[in-house]
Amino acid sequence: MNWREKYWPGQDRQDRLAVASGRALSAFCVMAGGGGIIITIINLQFLPDFMIQVGLGGVIALLCLVAPVFINGSAQFQLRARLLGSMTLLGMAYLSLANGSLYSPTNLLLLPAIMTFSLALGAKDGAFALALAWVAYVFSFLDSRAAGVEGGIESEFGALLIASGFVWIGTAVFRTEMSRSMSLIQAEKTKADKANAAKSDFLANMSHEIRTPLNGVLGMATVLEGTGLNPSQRRAVDVIKSSGSHLLAMLNDILDLSKIEAEELELEDIEFSPLEIFEGVRDLHATTTEAGGLELKLTVEPSFDAAAERLGDPTRLAQVLHNLVSNAVKFTSQGSVEIAVGGLNDQDGLWIEVRDTGCGMTALQVAKIFKPFVQADSSTSREFGGTGLGLAISRRIVSAMGGELSVESKMDEGSVFRVELPIQQVAGRRAEVAELEDDEAGAPKGLKILVVDDSETNRLVAAGLLRPIDAKVTLAESGEKAVQIYQPGRFDLVFMDIRMPVMDGFEALTEIRRIEAEASAVQTPVIAMTANVMGTQLEQYLKAGFADFVAKPIDQANLLDVARRTRATL
């Protein structure tokens, strides 16, 4: 049993009003119970002739002390609280009447009882407590008068009536307004959840609708690039691929930000060599910097073993570094861009700095540079392009990885973006493992592959991208057609579109598995080939039985890599 939670309910619950009610009840019970026990101990010594009343007071005090254990966190909170409160109030009222004095401490304790009833249960229950208190006050006043008590007893009686009325009105109004506010907040939260769900659906649909034609553009450009082109034609294809890749990068930025905001960003924890990441980013941007007359340098701190394997997410680390270097190159017209790397905390972490000699930023621009859709200058998007999401996404990814991304910059002197990450070092060298993998595993040749997609463009793109491995490709324009031509053992691999009319990819996969089960045949790996690549969607594919997935627009290297990975299952 979590005693602390019983006596002081936590703030992480959905119903904040229930939390406040539980805490108010606990506060009253502890104070009333503790005070009641002290009074009972004193009365046992000085009021031996009133043992029934004193004993009843002690029982009420003990009941108050243990009450939160049986009330807080219970589904019958209000019912149990009313039962406890009624017993407590009736007992206190009895003690007030038995005492026969308006000056009884029990009469004063009725005031916080009214307050607690109103705060924890509401105005109606508070009115019940007020009525009992007034009955006790009236009879106590009459008993005091009958006993000949003088000295302003009327004013004391009036003060008790007015004070108890004020306590009830104040707490009842507060509880009522708080209930209304919480109802409005819950309604707004529900509305926001629905809006967020609608946004996710919209992004998923738009991602699919944009990626499908973009798959045709980039895929056919890649296929065309592999044919005999003259220099002029090759330049035209390069422009097409560059423009398509830029559009794809912007789409991925928007989806990444949505995943982060929805807390769906998933990080891998695998072994990798940071040096491979650093060299890969440098090599990727080398052509751009050379064309612009810039020097791109990679500097590794002598004491830092950048080749040693570490645990983390190499894909996300590369994404952050790409964003930082791309920005540095974009805003540096002359001079150099440097990637500097070093170790932290006795090699259990690393720091990365991307330094440039570009235009720099003011303090005001630095303060807002990591906000989504914000760039340092309003003219930036017109002059340099971009969505203004790269740095916002990078900082959130670094934060999710347990690190920190910061920046120092001065106008006309350049900028330094610094990443600090707690990436643990492990034994061994990934470079040696990578060499072994390259020797043993290449893209398999001559695979028999079934490509299923309702878009003719997508089918032709997939078939064209599979040419380098001499695959024997069969095309199916629908899920029904795929099921009709499928035979166990006929294909080594199936690439299946997800969103198709009449019979979608999930239904087609189910039918294929049924056919295999009836024939007691080995299952053929089926790969989801889809433009729907949100995190929850990818999980859905794997749970449904797809062996892997290929995102649209289809990247040839990724497509062939999936084919290579499935070789072990053949």
Q: Going by C-beta distance under 8 Å and a sequence separation of 6 or more, which residues neighbour residue 453?
A: 459, 462, 476, 477, 495, 497, 500, 529
DSSP 428: E
Whether 296 contacts 254, CB under 8 Å = no
| Tokens of residue 474, six digits | 């069969």
Q: Which of 323, 315, 320 has its CA nearest to residue 269?
A: 315
Q: What is the pLDDT of residue 284?
A: 77
Q: What is the pLDDT of residue 384?
A: 45
Q: What is the pLDDT of residue 257?
A: 63
Question: Other CB atoms closer than 10 Å to residue 188's CB: what's the count?
Answer: 10
Question: Other CB atoms closer than 10 Å to residue 517's CB: what's the count?
Answer: 11
User: Side chain identity at 301, as an amino acid letter?
Assistant: E
Residue 439 parent element (H or E): helix 430-440
CA–CA dist 106, 112 (Å, integer): 11
CA–CA dist 203, 374 (Å, integer): 20
In three-state secondary structure terms, 557 is helix
pLDDT tens, N- to C-terminus, the chain (570 residues): 577 778 888 765 567 777 887 888 788 788 878 887 887 888 788 777 778 877 887 888 888 888 888 888 777 887 887 887 787 778 777 777 776 677 777 777 788 888 888 888 888 888 988 988 898 888 888 888 777 777 678 888 888 899 999 999 988 888 888 888 888 888 888 888 888 777 767 766 776 677 778 888 888 888 888 787 888 888 888 778 777 776 776 677 666 666 666 565 677 788 888 898 898 888 878 877 887 888 999 999 988 888 888 888 887 888 889 889 988 988 888 899 999 999 887 667 899 999 999 988 888 888 888 876 555 554 444 444 445 677 888 888 888 888 999 999 999 889 999 999 988 877 644 444 344 333 334 557 888 999 999 988 889 888 888 888 888 999 999 999 999 999 998 999 999 999 898 899 999 999 999 999 999 999 999 999 987 766 667 788 989 999 989 888 888 888 888 888 776 555
377-387 exposure pattern, b = at least 16 Cβ within 10 A, e = fewer: eeebeeeeebb
Whether 355 contacts 280, CB under 8 Å = no
Q: Which residues pair with 275 in a beta bridge?
A: none
Q: Which residues pair with 474 in a beta bridge?
A: 450
CA–CA dist 413, 388 (Å, integer): 22
Q: DSSP secondary structure string, 295-345? A: EEEEEE-TT--TTEEEEE-HHHHHHHHHHHHHHHHHT-SSSEEEEEEEEET
Q: What is the pLDDT of residue 499?
A: 87
Beta-carbon-side half-sphere exposure of residue 77 (alpha carbons within 13 Å): 22
- For the chain, the first-to-last Cα distance in angstroms comes to 53
Q: Which of 83, 178, 82 has its CA nearest to residue 126?
A: 82
CATH 3.40.50.980 at 270-431, yes or no = no
CA 133 to chain centre: 50
Edge-to-edge strand ranges of the sheet holding 472-476: 472-476, 448-452, 493-497, 526-530, 548-551
CA–CA dist 476, 462 (Å, integer): 12
Instruction: Delimit the domains of the chain by residue range.
Output: 3-191, 270-431, 441-569
Q: What is the pLDDT of residue 44?
A: 82
Whether 341 contacts 351, CB under 8 Å = yes
Class of domain 441-569: alpha beta
Alpha helices in 226-273 (DSSP H): 231-261
Q: Going by C-beta distance under 8 Å and a sequence separation of 6 or more, which residues neighbour residue 365?
A: 376, 377, 409
CA–CA dist 60, 95 (Å, integer): 11
| Tokens of residue 247, six digits | 């559009």
pLDDT digits 0-9 by tens, 70-127 = 888 777 887 887 887 787 778 777 777 776 677 777 777 788 888 888 888 888 888 9
Q: What is the pLDDT of residue 4?
A: 78
Q: Which of 341, 337, 321, 338 has its CA nearest to residue 329?
A: 337
User: Side chain identity at 370, as an amino acid letter?
Assistant: F
Q: What is the dihedral of CA 10, 12, 17, 19, to 10 degrees?
A: -10
Q: What is the pLDDT of residue 397?
A: 85
Q: What is the pLDDT of residue 379?
A: 46
